[in-house]
Amino acid sequence: MTTPLIETREMGKTFGSVIALSGINMSVAAGQVLCLLGDNGAGKSTLIKTLAGVHRPSEGEMLVEGRPVAFDSPRDALDAGIATVFQDLAMVSLMSVTRNFFMGREPTRGKGVLARFDAGFADRVAREEMAKIGIDVRDPSQAVGTLSGGERQCVAIARAVYFGAKVLILDEPTSALGVSQASMVLRYIAQARSRGLGVIFITHNVHHAYPVGDTFTLLNRGRSLGNFMKAEVSREEVLEMMAGGKELEDLDAELAEFDRADAG
């Protein structure tokens, strides 16, 4: 088996006395989509922030391409090829698609004080990258504020891919989107996978996760309920585990108790 792009071993994170995460084992290989599923408060956010270099793990270790790493900042994670697209997207809605695409990493022409923003090149790349994912930016100089939510999400992802991400961490990219917008993003995730990227896709929507996921990691109350290959589980099983299947079973049992008590 090839070395996974990113792997965690018994990783945990505590904030004071609160155990936010513990014993997380997961790995993503190139060309694989890992879906991270969990209800609210399951620890999804803490996990991705740890992977993205915002937090440092309190225990366990994290490996990138087989080597243990410790990120001090999101910048470090980015340099290691791990790009996180947070829900707020890091986009400025008043700025053009091109200017957002290259924000912080503007291509320049010329040297020294005469180095200038290469607008022609930037416009062309932004258009091409967006075209690759099937989004037709009508005009790359239009403000990002004029794009739909799904398109914005795709610009953010395309930007991460263009700047050399090996692992994409997507934080609930489809949660605020309608059906057609969400499928646009899902199609792009599948595309990124086929280009050899590792994708960690965080969501609480099984219907979005199941079609594109290769493996599923379920989180509940800061712990992993296990990793499953797609072949091993059905959509219903995933849903059941996620929705706290155990709790539902207990509830069933309790209700049965009441029934017996009534009968008796």
Partner 1 sequence: MTDRTANAAAQADERLRETSLAKKLLARPELGAVAGAVLVYLFFGIVAGDSGMFSARGIMNFLEVSALLGILAVAVALLMIGGEFDLSVGSMIGAAGVVIAIPAATWGWPLWLCIPMAFGVAVFVGYFNGLITVRTGLPSFIVTLAGLFILRGLTIGFTRLITGRTQVSGLKQIAEDDWLAGLFSGDVGHGLFVWLAEAGLLAQRADGAPVVPGIPVSVIWWLGFGAVATWVLLRTRFGNWIFACGGDKTAARNVGVPVDRVKIILFMTTACAATLVATIQVLDAGSADTNRGLLKEFEAIIAAVIGGCLLTGGYGSAIGAMFGALIFGTVQVGIFFTGVNTDWFKVFLGVMLLIAVIFNNFIRRRVTEAR
Binding site for partner 1 (CB under 8 A): 74-75, 78, 86, 88-95, 99, 102-106, 108, 115-117, 119-121, 123-124, 127, 136, 138-139, 142-143, 145-148
Q: Nearest approach, Cβ of 237 to partner 1 (angstroms)?
A: 37
Using DSSP's 3-state secondary structure scheme, residue 133 falls into coil
Q: Compare residues 124 and 235 and give the one whose CB is closer to partner 1.
A: 124
Query: What does the block give as tokens for 154?
Result: 């795709």
Q: Specify the DSSP element, H or E, that contains 157.
A: helix 149-162
Query: What does the block give as tokens for 100?
Result: 């957002």
Q: Nearest approach, Cβ of 80 to partner 1 (angstroms)?
A: 14
For 20-58, b where at least 16 C-beta lie within 10 A, e where not — what string? Answer: bbbebebbbbbbbbbbbbbeeebbbbbbbbbbbbbbebe
Q: Compare residues 7 and 172 and give the one whose CB is closer to partner 1.
A: 172
Q: Nearest approach, Cβ of 163 to partner 1 (angstroms)?
A: 9
Q: Nearest approach, Cβ of 103 to partner 1 (angstroms)?
A: 5
Q: How far apart are CA 187 and CA 134, in angstroms?
A: 9
Q: How far apart are CA 203 and CA 194, in angstroms?
A: 20
Residues 144 and 95: beta-carbon distance below 8 Å? yes
Q: Compare residues 127 and 193 and give the one whose CB is closer to partner 1.
A: 127
Q: Compare residues 125 and 225 and give the one whose CB is closer to partner 1.
A: 125
Q: Nearest approach, Cβ of 176 to partner 1 (angstroms)?
A: 16
Q: How far is CA 42 from CA 31, 129, 214, 240, in A?
A: 26, 35, 21, 15
Q: Compare residues 59 and 76 and give the one whose CB is closer to partner 1.
A: 76
Q: Compare residues 16 and 104 and give the one whose CB is closer to partner 1.
A: 104
Q: Nearest approach, Cβ of 31 to partner 1 (angstroms)?
A: 26
HSE-CB at 218 with a 13 A cutoff on CA atoms is 21
Task: List phi, psi (to 5°) of 105.
Answer: -140, 50
